[in-house]
Structure 1
Amino acid sequence: MSTAQNVLPQTPRLLRALAGETLERPPIWFMRQAGRSLPEYRELRTRAKDFIAFCHNPEMAAEATLQPMRRFPLDAAIVFADILLIPRALGQEVWFEAGEGPRLGALPPIEALSDQVEASTGRLADIGETLSRVRAELEPDRALIGFAGGPWTVATYMIEGRGSNRETARTFAYENPETLDALLDVLVESTARYLVMQARSGAQALKLFESWAEGLSEDVFERIVVRPHAAIVEKVRAAGVEAPFIGFPRGAGAQVYNYAEAVPVEGIALDTQATAQLGRTLQAQGRTIQGALDNLLLRAGGPALDARVDQLLEQWGQGPWIFNLGHGIMPDTPIPHIARVVERVTGWRRSA
């Protein structure tokens, strides 16, 4: 149920939208806006020993978080971190190969991972410090988002040891259901603790990135995506945290309806394939939606980009909606393309 009537006008635009309010124009931020495409980020990155050291350096991570906020009139910042910090905090070896992405060591026994859950939150305290630094500098009308990877997505990396087509992890889910469920339970607990810490450090909204939710049958999707997400939200709420959640079951297609029905998140992030009707249906059911511009179109630019932005504004701007991408900003996205979209969205007004 919408709580828009209880939201003060000076509340950050993102939080107003997540409370169910239809604004005169949607709030805007971009997935992976902290870093990647900005030259100032690339210069900053050279000062860190490696990517993990960068994430665990609150001064540098706060600077990366704030850089896009200085360039563009975005309505929200998202903390600079990575979804694979949790496996590392649980005791699995994690590193990043230049030009190739993440690598993980052998999956430790579930019992060993479980023994590290309580300690894992303390090992992630640097991210809390980053959030505190950003919140202290960020204007009060701009929201700060904390996040974590969805348990299934994180588990795929832990099982396979790298990014891939996830066939090995999906096969593991069928062949070792009890082991996978136990791993997901560990990740639910550690993720919930991590998000509680983020909220207490200054995060005003929390996002769950289930980046690899595609290709799952309905029963498996319910077991390894819906159930863990619902459990995380329940645990975070039980800890007294009221920050709204955005859930992102990327690639789930029509199963987004099942997700929205079963997971008590305030916002549903949609990917590039989402239809206009899907978004409108979710809005009519009282959910705020987020998305879903193609990140490749943002990179390509031109008249097609303008046309698609305008189309999205018209199809979803009459309900609670956060303008965003269907996936993260590509590293080689021209900055003028980003600026053009931000200008187009912030200058738009919905019809009375």
Structure 2
Amino acid sequence: MATLQNDRFLRALLREPVDRTPLWMMRQAGRYLPEYRATRAQAGSFMGLCTQPELACEVTMQPLRRYDMDAAILFSDILTIPDAMGLGLYFTEGEGPRFERPLSSEADIAALEPNRARDELGYVMDAVSLIRKELNGKVPLIGFSGSPWTLATYMVEGGSSKDFAKTKSLAFNNPAAMHQLLDKLADAVAVYLTTQVEQGAQALQIFDTWGGSLSHEAYQEFSLRYMQAVIERLPREADGRRVPIIVFTKGGGQWLEQIADCGADAVGLDWTTDISSARARIGDKVALQGNMDPAMLNAKPERIREEVAKILAGYGNGTGHIFNLGHGITPGIDPECVGAMVDAVIELSPAYHS
């Protein structure tokens, strides 16, 4: 593999000195870019885009051609694992992801084969390898997976949900069955992420999108416990460097201390948590990633710049901050507004690293 030319992102994750705050965006390859929409049309569908490594590589590279990002993230979907387990993932316009065969019984859970996910996801690994080669050392490549709990919610609900009634009913009425499901998913996620590292991923993020839907005790039992189990099984070094791990629980600000103790190198913050107080709470234990409200990109460039300045000042001096949105960028954003954010981070952040 080519020598890494820009390792600012990896060094900040490990709290090593950097010249400025690195940045990337969740969903930085997406529908806000006209070139992405053109490539998706070429693929014929979202899953067609995910399952063709050459096209997945193309859309991964697109934002890097526009913006001075410090990392690329694999273009894929968090639901590839349950799809590979035979649940039949499909997408409907306006409704998001759905499964043809959601889990509805203990027998369904018992029949799941974690190894099937490993065997069926070669197209993801081909994309990782191809993207790493295409990057040619420009910036690091982030691999990712959904957390076991988040994957479980989609598998039980059959799609997205407002109240997670079916999933919580299973967890509270039949915890043994839920733990069996989460154990299988932790196995699959650990193997999935490990293989991404073997194919060239240089950092990993676990997306716990729906952990914040749980109560305090339930979060520890059904979400954080299984992310920790995954992390304990992941390779921590590749290419002679540490492979940093980021955990992002949307709505997880109340559990910062516990997340910081789970074995990850960085904690992702959504926009509802003040970054200054987050840093005060966990000190130098881990790096922090985030956390501008994605909706701020609807604002005028001068307002975006003000918000960037506020977040940078909130974190303050020193390394350990990776600038990002507090969740994924939304489809209708003007690409010029993303450019305003990127320019502001590049221009304003060096003052905090002198």
TM-score (norm 2): 0.92
Shift of 1:47: 1.4
Q: How do 1:33-52 residues align onto structure 2 when only pairs under 5 Å count?
A: 33-52=28-47
**Which residue of structure 1 lines up, in the alignment, with residue 336 of structure 2?**
336
CA contact (8 A) 1:249 1:256 kept: no
Correspondence 1:267-286 to 2 at 5 A: 267-281=266-280, 284-286=283-285
Residues 69 and 239 (structure 1), Cα distance of their counterparts in 2 relative to 1, 3 Å cut: closer
Structure-1-length-normalised TM-score? 0.92
* Partner Cα separation in structure 1 for residue 155 and residue 17 of structure 2: 40
Shift of 1:130: 0.8
Deviation at 1:278, TM superposition (A): 3.3
Selected match of 2:70 from 59, 67, 75: 75
The root-mean-square deviation of aligned C-alpha atoms, in Å, is 2.0
| Counterpart residue number, 2:111 | 112
Decide which of 144, 147, 170 is 1:147's aligned counterpart.
144
> Does the 8 A contact of 2:209 with 2:250 survive in 1?
yes
Q: Secondary structure at the match of 1:207?
A: strand
Counterpart amino acid of residue 127 in structure 1: V
Q: Does the alignment pair 1:101 with 2:73?
A: no
> In structure 2, which of residues 74, 83, 86 is the aligned counterpart of residue 88 of structure 1?
83
1:350 equivalent to 2:351? Answer yes
**Which amino acid counterpart does residue 101 of structure 2 have in structure 1?**
A
What letter matches 2:131 in structure 1? V
Structure 2 distance, partners of 1:172, 1:251, is 22
Q: Structure 2 unaligned runs (5+)? A: none
Please, which of 177, 180, 191 is the counterpart of residue 178 of structure 2?
Answer: 180
Q: How does 1:1-352 map to 2 (within 5 A)?
A: 12-108=7-103, 109-113=108-112, 116-168=113-165, 169-237=167-235, 242-261=242-261, 263-281=262-280, 284-319=283-318, 320-348=320-348, 349-351=350-352, 352=354
Alignment partners' CA distance in 2, 1:272 and 1:27:
18
Could you report, residue by residue, the CA deviation over 1:211-254 in whole angstroms, capped at 9, with x for unpaired residues? Answer: 11213222111111111011001111389895110000110121
What secondary structure sits across from 2:211 in the alignment? coil
State the 1:111 CA deviation. Answer: 1.9
Cα deviation 1:140-167 (Å, max 9, x = unaligned): 2411000000111111111111111133
Following superposition, which runs of at least 4 residues in structure 1 exceed 6 angstroms of deviation?
Answer: 238-241
- Is contact 1:12-1:140 (8 Å) kept? no
Amino acid at match of 1:290: Q
Give the letter aligned to residue 188 of structure 2. S
**Identity over aligned pairs, percent:** 37
Aligned partners of 1:132, 1:346: CA distance in 2, in Å?
A: 29
